[in-house]
Structure formats: structure tokens, C-alpha cells
Amino acid sequence: MRNTPTSAKLLLLFPITQLLLGCSKPTVDVAASVTTLGQATPIEVRVHDPHGLSELTATVEQNGTPYQVWHTASASKSPDTTLNFTAGVKDTPQLKDGRATLILQAKSGGMFGGTTRWERAVNVVTQPPTVSADSDQHYLYRGMADLATMNVTGAYTSAGVRLGNQTFRAWPMPGGKPGMFSLFAFAWNMPQETIPVVYASNGAGADVTTPLTVVFPKREQPVYTQHQIQITDQFMQKVLGELDPNGSGTPVERFKKINSQMRQSNNKTLAELRFKTADHFLWSQPFTRQSHSAAEATFADVRSYMYHGEKIDEQVHLGYDLAVTQHVGVEASNDGRVVWAAPLGIYGNCVVVDHGYGLQTIYGHMSRIDVKEGDAVKRSQVMGLSGMTGMAGGDHVHFAMQLDGVQIDAKEWWDPHWIQDHVARRVELAAH
């Protein structure tokens, strides 16, 4: 048998290697939110292929009939390509209300590249939904929450109450009753003239709204308290040692970073807990305040942080600082389920309890946590001990409430009459 020289072997391997390098199939990705096609629904397609993209075709198939809605043969040599087009009844009038399938076929730009077929079930909607709001008068001020009822007909993917750029989900009425409701908040920093609207969207570009009837106080309330917080060297070192032990920069720079950037990050973590809420009421009685506690700070206090006589920062305090004695038992304000029980930056050892429908209570600065995520807790149950972890200058519990991720004033929720007038007379509070 005749041996092939090494150089010849390499020459034989080269075209094989090139052939293998030219073989690939694109990966195709479309946002999960694309589930409905309306008049002209925008669709963004992201394609990845190391050899680029040579062709992409979009088809909508309904009742066994395919309709090509978009095609491009513009070659792209980039490994990552983003393409945008619209699909819907405007350009494809043959589509009818009902189920369909969106199909994408992407062909690799490689010499011997393959074709990827991607598909997703979608719903074709030719008409926008309709929405009607209750006729109640909603008395609001900044920081306050309320409850609105509504009716939505037609196909829709989301509904609720919207204030400015904030949205609050709608839920089916408890007990199988007709209609929907939404707990919503008028945020502490929302412009006073903002009118809340009930909305419904079909996910295909059709968004309908109707305003709620709102009565604002004759004067803007509340008037937020201004406080000066004196930062001692001892407190500065305590905060830096606990929350930024390996940080760089001057002590003031590190403190300001904690007080602003870490605070913002921690509040984002809290807001995202709205996705861990129950779809039913976990409570049936008014909320309780920490027993025998004195409020050292209230909701939306504006705090100026003073260090050696100089103002180094300003932040808004979105909660109540409730103090009793050192290491007092921290009580659950109402029945619920624990969705967070761990350290959380400026809040120190923190517990968050979900009460259903996006309503949650927050307990910060604890010295000890005696519950874990997933635990069911009862009203006034002790969940741990107060302390001064995080950015706490003395032993207390930081108590706050949030609704669909927006922090709100808790004081109404401690009032049985307010609960009755604003919540219980509109929906049934019987616990699930």
C-alpha cells in the first residue's frame, strides 16, 4: 500500500475542514411577548449564525393555509442579525380572528449552511377590546393606594390601571363574580395632575383606556417632612464596613454610592418581588402596626445627610421607622406568605411578606430572621428580632408596603374604616 505524504494529507483535509466550517444552522429568537397579531403587529427577529444570514421568510398559517407576510434575501455577513417587520390583518386581510401559527425560516449564510424553521402559536385579533370603569369617586393623594373595578370585553392580553408610566394589574373578581378589579397606587413622586386610567391591551398594538373619576385634596397632601441626618465617623465606618468592606474611594464617595446606587438596586429587587404574588387574598382583617411602637420616621421623609457640618447626600425614605426596645419581636402586619428572608443591602436583614394581588409588606434592619421563603405567616406572628443591620443608626424595624412594586404609604392599611370604604365594600376579602 502506498503511503500518502503528510503534506498531501493536509491538502486533502483542508477542503474537508472548510466544508465543516461552512455547515451551520441559524438560531432564531423572537420576544416572548409576541403572542397576538392585530392590524400590523411589530415583530423583531434576532438571528445568530457564525456565517451570517442569507435569507429569512415569515409566514402565518391559519386553518391549513400559509400566507407569506415578509421575506428578505439581503445577505448579512454579521454573526448576529436583527430584522424588523410587521404582520397582521392590514397586509394579510385573509386572516380571521382565532388561532394561527407564526413560522420563520432562516437560511445560513455559510456555503453549505442549513435552514432553521421556527414557529409559535399566535392569536389573530381584528378588533380592539372594550373597557369600562366603575363610577366611584376615588379620593387620592400622593403615596396612597385605592381599588378600582372594571369590565373588559373582547380579546385582550393585559388590563389594569395605569398612572403615567406605572401599571397595576387587573385580576378576576374573587368568588367567580363577573368583572375585574385592580389595586393601584398614586406614587409619592407622581405629578399631582396625573389622572389614573383603566386600560386593556390586546398585545397587538390596540390599547384602549378610560379615566377614573378622581377627587384630589384641595391642597396637595401630604407635606413631606424634611430631616437632617447627622453622620458620625462611627456610623460612617459601620456602614462602610458592613456594606462596602472592600470598596475604593474616599469614605464620603463610598457612602454616597451605597446610599444612592445600592439603594436603587435594592429597591429594584423589592419591586421585582411583585412577580411572586398570590392570585387571591391571603388576608381578611386590617393590617396591624408593630405593637407599642413609636414612629421615628414616616413615609416619604426627605433626608439630608450631614457629615462634619456639610450636606453630602439627599434621599427619600419610603417607609416607617418603628422603634420599641432593642431586639423586640418583629410582627407580621397581616396573614401572608414570605417571599424574601435574607440580607438586602441598605435594608440589612430583611423579610418581605406577600398578601396577594401584588400587595406586600417589607421589614428591614432585623438582627435575626426566624422565617424562610415560602413560610405562611399569621397576623402579629413574630418573624425575628429588630436590630440595626444595613443603614440603620439605631435599633428599629423599617416597615414599608408596596403594591405591584410601587412603595406606598402604609397608614391607611392600618385603619379598619379605610379598609372597609376603599377595599372591602368593592371586593370580598374572605381569605382563600
Query: Across the chain, what does the average pLDDT equal?
Result: 90
CA distance 412 to 388: 27
Q: Tell whether pTM > 0.85.
A: no
Q: pLDDT tens digits for 192-230?
A: 889 999 999 887 767 899 999 998 876 555 567 888 999
Q: What is the pLDDT of residue 297?
A: 84
Read off the amino acid at residue 20. Answer: L
226 strand-pairing partners: 302
The residue among 80 and 156 whose pLDDT is bigger is: 80
345 by Cβ neighbours in 10 Å (0-12 / 13-18 / 19+) ranks as buried
Q: pLDDT tens digits for 305-358?
A: 999 999 999 999 999 999 999 999 999 999 999 999 999 999 999 999 999 999
- pLDDT of residue 275 exceeding 50: yes
- pLDDT of residue 66 exceeding 80: yes
Q: What are 225's three cell numbers?
A: 417632612
- pLDDT of residue 430 exceeding 80: no
Give the distance between the most distant pair of CA atoms in the chain. 103
Nearest-CA neighbor of 171 among 278, 276, 250, 249?
278
Q: What are 183's three cell numbers?
A: 389595586
Q: pLDDT tens digits for 82-99?
A: 999 999 999 999 999 899
For each of the domains in the chain, give its residue range(s) and CATH number, in order of start. 23-124 (2.70.50.50), 130-215 (2.60.40), 226-424 (2.70.70.10)
CA distance 392 to 384: 17
Q: What is the pLDDT of residue 75?
A: 73
User: Half-sphere exposure of residue 266, counting CA atoms within 13 Å on the CB side?
Assistant: 24
Q: pLDDT tens digits for 6-48?
A: 544 444 444 444 444 556 789 999 988 888 898 888 999 999 9
